[in-house]
Amino acid sequence: MADDGLKLRTARTLKWNSIDRFSSQILYAVVGVVLANVLPKEDFGLVGVILMFQAFAVLFVDSGFGTALLQKKEPSQTDYSTVFWFNTGVATAIYVILWFCAPSIAALFGRTEELVPMSRVMFLTFIFTALGIVQTNQLMKKMDVRQVAIANLVSQITSGALGIILALRGFGAWSLVWQSVSQAAIKSGWLWLTGGWMPSARFSSASLRAMLRVGAGVFASCLLNVGSLNAYTFVIGILYPMATLGVYTQADKWSKMGYASLSQIFNTTFLPLLSRFQEEKERFVRAMRKSNRVTAFIACPVSGALIVMAAPIFHLLFGSKWDEAIPLFQILVARGLLIVLIAQCNTCILALGKAGRFVGTEVVKDVLMVGALFASLPFGSVEALVWGQFFASLLTYAYVIYITVRVTFVRLLQYLADLTPYLLLTAAVMAAASLLGTLSLHPAMLIAAEFCAGALLYIAVLYAARSVILRESFAYLLGRFRRKS
């Protein structure tokens, strides 16, 4: 009975995580399509430069303590308050530092006049983000994802509308800046009004130190990850025109809409679940293998569909304006699938409190990423740089599988048995669906044909193979439908 209740809570959490991420991504896509058609490529390059530095700032603000709160079995009010005050203090200090550093940052790219004022406004985003980190994690810990989903939805709609209005009125790159700032401010404000949690006047250095073991490891790994990824943005921004950087950032942004959403859904769903079984080997193995199958069941076909339908999707949404981004997008989506699978392995490692091992895998990943950057630079193209990212991630995944098998209680053959069927089936479905690409159809018709053919074939094969995951998914959806009717 206890397992059934936990399974239901996990299903509900996964449902609301999915609603949250995919509704947000739909809104993000709608706004992104409008802005991509209105604004020139150069504007996206300018904002991409600011986002590169902002990514580091947000990382320092959280410092890994958000994940530490999720991983901790029963965090106290003192734990939450301590992390809140720490985040807020660090955010304020970093904003002041970046305010004075803005001219130097802009000078690196030779665009001082535009980048200095935009960056000083854009950097407000991570202060607003800091004010909502603990509220978000407190709700996630209770597996109450509904409130977070609503906050994201409200902030996306409002900030997206503002960005579109400003773009249509000729504000250029500033429309992207104000969209980002307003989204962070509205989300944090909504969580404060509806989240039901308020910080107390407590700060415990002992509590902070206790969470440092996990938090520091996560922070170090994320710092390496952000550094290695933004090295590509930095190099492209220095060596190529801003319009080329805009093409790369667009391909990267649209690819992340798929794999980053999936990775976050799985992490926020499975980390609290697996953490419950840290000291129960058999239950941990069952839960881990189930989470691995769910991840592969969803992530493989989603990634395959995006790769196959990339060209008609871009042509439908943007015409020929962003054709240069299509091959970059496809490679980044393939890499994104590897990132999702790597993140799932790391979730299992973190759930056991093995932060040191987690950091080790991240170090390997980022060393390989930087190595791939230097190895691909002589080829003289952005596409070569992106291929370097893919092969670096492939090598990382092989290493992470090795570490996961050593750290957890799951054997290599068990892991491969849970994953391989979905990978092979997805590859076969992609090959079949891509044959439709030879037809001379309107992009919308081609997308519909490829999607329907691929989805039907994928489900039919799993149904014929009596897939447990497919059966449980249908049972859950049918149960929800019956309760509502």
* Contact (Cβ atoms closer than 8 angstroms) between residue 287 and residue 269: no
Maximum pairwise Cα distance, the chain? 66
pLDDT in tens, 439-471: 788 899 999 999 999 989 998 998 888 877 777
Q: What average pLDDT does the segment 116-123 reach?
A: 86
71: confidence class by pLDDT, cuts 50, 70, 90: low
9: confidence class by pLDDT, cuts 50, 70, 90: low
- Which whole-number Å values give the CA distances from 43 to 137, 174, 177, in the listed order? 33, 9, 10
Is residue 408's pLDDT more than 80? Answer: yes
Read off the tokens for 39: 């604004």
Q: Which residue has the higher pLDDT, 267 or 374?
A: 374
Is residue 143's pLDDT more than 80? Answer: no
Read off the tokens for 94: 């970093």
Percentage of residues in the chain having pLDDT higher than 70: 86
481: confidence class by pLDDT, cuts 50, 70, 90: very low
Give 190: exposed, middle or buried? Use CB within 10 Å, 0-12, 13-18, 19+: buried
126-130, 137-141, 401-405: which range is least confident on average? 137-141
Average pLDDT, the chain: 82
Name residues whose C-beta falls within 8 Å of residue 36's C-beta, 6 or more positions apart in sequence: 44, 250, 317, 318, 321, 322
pLDDT in tens, 243-271: 888 899 889 888 887 777 777 777 777 77
118-122, 125-129, 195-199, 396-400: which range is least confident on average? 195-199
- 124-141 helix and 173-194 helix, angle to the nearest 10 degrees: 40
Percentage of residues in the chain having pLDDT higher than 90: 19
The pLDDT score that the predictor gives to residue 60 is: 61
The pLDDT score that the predictor gives to residue 445 is: 92
- Which whole-number Å values give the CA distances from 217 to 136, 221, 222, 357, 375, in the listed order? 21, 6, 9, 9, 28
pLDDT in tens, 327-364: 999 999 999 999 999 988 888 888 887 777 877 888 88
Q: What average pLDDT does the segment 302-311 reach?
A: 92
Is residue 28's pLDDT more than 50? Answer: yes
Give 171: exposed, middle or buried? Use CB within 10 Å, 0-12, 13-18, 19+: middle
pLDDT in tens, 88-119: 888 888 888 888 888 887 887 777 677 888 88
The pLDDT score that the predictor gives to residue 304 is: 92
Read off the tokens for 241: 């025109």
Read off the tokens for 471: 């059966």
* Contact (Cβ atoms closer than 8 angstroms) between residue 289 and residue 84: no
pLDDT in tens, 182-199: 988 998 899 888 877 788
Q: What average pLDDT does the segment 310-321 reach?
A: 88
Please state, as a whole number, how many other Cβ atoms lie within 10 Å of the Cβ of residue 33: 14
The pLDDT score that the predictor gives to residue 474 is: 67
What is the DSSP secondary structure assignment for residue 110, as one 8-state letter? T
Q: What average pLDDT does the segment 299-327 reach?
A: 90
Give me the residue label for tokens 């190895």: 375
The pLDDT score that the predictor gives to residue 8 is: 63
- Rg of the chain (C-alpha set): 22
63: confidence class by pLDDT, cuts 50, 70, 90: low
The pLDDT score that the predictor gives to residue 346 is: 86
435: confidence class by pLDDT, cuts 50, 70, 90: confident
Read off the tokens for 226: 């952000």
pLDDT in tens, 160-186: 899 889 988 888 888 888 988 998 899
What is the DSSP secondary structure assignment for residue 381, as one 8-state letter? S
- Rounded to whole angstroms, the Cα distance separating 91 from 130 reads 7
- Rounded to whole angstroms, the Cα distance separating 152 from 417 reads 36
Q: Which residue has the higher pLDDT, 222 or 249?
A: 249
The pLDDT score that the predictor gives to residue 485 is: 42
What is the DSSP secondary structure assignment for residue 74, as one 8-state letter? S
